[in-house]
Amino acid sequence: LAIEGSGFTSKTRDEVRYFEHALFVIDEHGVIQSVLEPGDECYQSEKAQAQANGTYQSIADGSYLLPGFIDLHVHAPQWAQDGTGLDEPLEVWLGKYTFPTESKFADESFAHTVYEDLVTRMLSTGTTTASYYATVHRNGSLVLAQGAERLGQRALVGKVVMDDPEANPEYYRDASAQAAIEETERFINEVAKLNEHSVQGVYPVITPRFIPSCTDEALRGLGELAERYKTYAYIQTHCSESDWEHGYAYERYGRSDTHMLREFGLFTDRSILAHSVYPSEEDMRVFAETGAIAVHCPLSNAFFAGAVAPIRRYLAAGMHVALGSDISGGYNPDLYGAIRQAMISSRMLETGVNRDLAAQERGVEGSALTLSNAFYLATAGGGESLGLPIGRLEAGYAWDAQVVDTRHPGARLPIFEPNEPASDIFQKIMNLAVPENVRTVWVQGRKVVNKENGAR
């Protein structure tokens, strides 16, 4: 496969690279073998060769290539309740909305319907990799992994563990700590088997919902599984999400949840920690030392945390940071929304809510993320965090890409001049693109969305 086109990819956290009529040569494993610029020696010969054997494809003028987005925090079953309940605090929302919804996923046919719709929709807005929480049901969780595998999305999937009978409703919880650990281990092996014949990768994730829903016995057992399966299983949980949750860990253990998750063996370079809004300096050091990932979920944080995670501080401390939608704690299922919210929220932190109040009410200088920073978090940052060669349109990376057509009739992009600077076009796409603008999506070299054919 050889694809010629113009577009954007993250160069560093602070810089976006624009390429013009670059030729991406993609091998049979869906990996970018080389990126040739029009001035390069073999550009013409490679192009001619691809044209001759019918593998050449060119992206039209006015359309731009971007790396596929990486969404590292999604509650897939909550797609069924997306957009509801957000005026409640987290601990009320869980009992009133979320647990009743998730309990319905004991029905595998319902699970199939919801999961297919979500994965399809996420792919169609350019999300090529996602880390999912399913539900406590092992079979339903497997339906999600199978759906992502078949539809072509690179997915990390976890069977949720919530075993504490004191903390969880009788109708929705694991039968016991022992059962939760055994079901998780079975799930890890089932997904590993599925991964053997997947093109793009489907990975099992050890998923204690969060400390308040698990017993120490379950947390310890899951930590042991994390050690045993550390070559291919990931770990995910919620960390320092809200005052309530953060305070809960201190009350139960006298320590932060970050500290305790590490004690349980759940804080490694394969740990995906959603939210992480309130880390202490010491907690931040634990992140940086272990290589664990803080997943920024800015929209959800506005609702449940009522706070803004200081992402620039995290980056300066050497922490891995990625972006998440947190469906349905955040209702926006595409990462364009998360990029925009990350920009907005960081500015609220920078300026403070009310400049006329006392000094401590003012903002935190140096907090504002640039658009390049936010784009990095949604692409290369996610890839680096996971330790996978994804998130960049560069040689050696998977061909996970999306085409944004700025001239599509559904577009609302004010581009009027023929020679508009690329940096302006990039900003307009990031801030204004709508789902219809994303026309084609590939994962690992495989075309998974092609709206030009009316396929999806």
**What residues line the site for ligand GUN (CB under 6 A)?**
75, 90, 94, 98, 209-210, 238, 241, 300, 304, 326, 329
Contact 401, 68 (CB under 8 A): yes
CA 193 to chain centre: 23
Burial of 264 (0-12, 13-18, 19+ CB in 10 A): buried
- Report, in Å, the least distance between residue 111 CB and ligand GUN: 16
Least gap, CB of 210 to Fe ion (angstroms): 8
* Token reading at 208: 């204690």
DSSP 86-133: TTS-HHHHIIIIIHHHHHGGGSHHHHHHHHHHHHHHHHHTTEEEEEEE
Q: Which stretch binds Fe ion (CB under 5 A): 112-120, 172-180, 268-276, 368-376?
A: 268-276
| CB closer to Fe ion out of 124 and 301 | 301
Binding status of residue 326 toward Fe ion by CB under 5 A: yes
Q: What does 47 bind: ligand GUN, Fe ion, none (CB cut-off 5 to 8 Å by kind)? A: none
Beta carbon of residue 358, minimum distance to ligand GUN (angstroms, whole number) = 32
Residue 240 binding target from Fe ion, ligand GUN, none, CB below 5 to 8 Å by type = none
Among Fe ion, ligand GUN, none, the one that 340 touches (CB under a kind-dependent 5 to 8 A) is none
Among candidates 429, 21, 441, which has minimal Cα distance to 453? Answer: 441
Token pair 């300026």 in the structure block, residue: 351
Provide φ and ψ at 49, rounded to 5°.
-65, -45
Q: Which is nearer to ligand GUN, 207 or 406 (CB)?
A: 207
Q: Contact region for Fe ion (CB under 5 A) — 274-282, 340-348, 406-414, 419-427?
A: 274-282
- Residue 163 near Fe ion by CB under 5 A: no
Tell me which of ligand GUN, Fe ion, none is bound by residue 210, counting a contact when its beta carbon lies within the kind-specific cut-off of 5 to 8 angstroms.
ligand GUN
* Euclidean distance between CA atoms 177 and 87, whole angstroms: 33
Q: Rounded to the nearest whole angstrom, what is the least distance from the CB of residue 389 to Fe ion in the complex?
A: 27
The entry of Fe ion, ligand GUN, none that residue 209 binds, CB within 5 to 8 Å by partner kind: ligand GUN
Provide, rounded to whole angstroms, the least separation between the CB of residue 275 and Fe ion. 7
451 touches, from ligand GUN, Fe ion, none (C-beta below 5 to 8 Å by class):
none
Q: Least distance from C-beta 238 to ligand GUN, angstroms?
A: 4
Q: How far apart are CA 337 and CA 378, in angstroms?
A: 11
Q: Are 291 and 253 in contact (CB under 8 A)?
A: no
C-beta separation of 53 from 61 below 8 A? no
Q: Which stretch binds Fe ion (CB under 5 A): 77-85, 325-333, 363-371, 392-400?
A: 325-333
Residue nearer to Fe ion on the CB measure, 67 or 329: 329
Q: Which does 98 bind (CB under 5 to 8 A by kind): ligand GUN, Fe ion, none?
A: ligand GUN
Kindly state the smallest distance separating residue 135's Cβ from ligand GUN, in Å. 10
Output the CA–CA distances (angstroms, integers) from residue 286 to 210, 220, 447, in the order listed. 18, 19, 39
Give 438's strand partners.
404
Calculate the alpha carbon distances from 383 to 74, 128, 338, 340, 392 in Å: 16, 11, 16, 20, 8
Shortest Cβ 304–Fe ion spacing (Å): 8
241 binds, among ligand GUN, Fe ion, none (CB under 5 to 8 A by kind): ligand GUN
Alpha-carbon distance 146 to 140, whole Å?
Answer: 10
Q: How far is the CB of 90 from ligand GUN (least distance, A)?
A: 6
Nearer Cβ to ligand GUN (241/257): 241
Residue 337 beta carbon to ligand GUN: minimum distance, rounded to whole angstroms: 15
Task: Write the DSSP symbol of residue 255.
Answer: S
Distance between CA atoms of residues 58 and 62, nearest Å: 12
Nearer to Fe ion, 73 or 439 (CB): 73
Distance, CA of 414 to CA of 407 (rounded, Å):
10
Q: 403 in helix, strand or coil?
A: strand
CA 12 to chain centre: 19
Residue 394 binding result from ligand GUN, Fe ion, none, given CB thresholds of 5 to 8 Å by partner type: none
Q: Which is nearer to ligand GUN, 162 or 390 (CB)?
A: 162
- Which of ligand GUN, Fe ion, none does residue 70 bind to, with CB < 5 to 8 Å depending on kind? none
Closest among 237, 244, 212, 202 to 222, alpha carbons compared: 237
Question: At closest approach, how far in Å is the CB of 373 from ligand GUN?
Answer: 23
d(CA 267, CA 273): 9
Nearer to ligand GUN, 133 or 375 (CB): 133
DSSP string, 271-309: EEEEE--S--HHHHHHHHHHT-EEEE-HHHIIIII-S--
Cβ distance to Fe ion smaller for residue 328 or 406: 328
d(CA 143, CA 113): 10
**Binder of residue 304, out of ligand GUN, Fe ion, none (CB less than 5 to 8 A by kind):** ligand GUN
| Residues in touch with Fe ion (CB under 5 A) | 274, 326
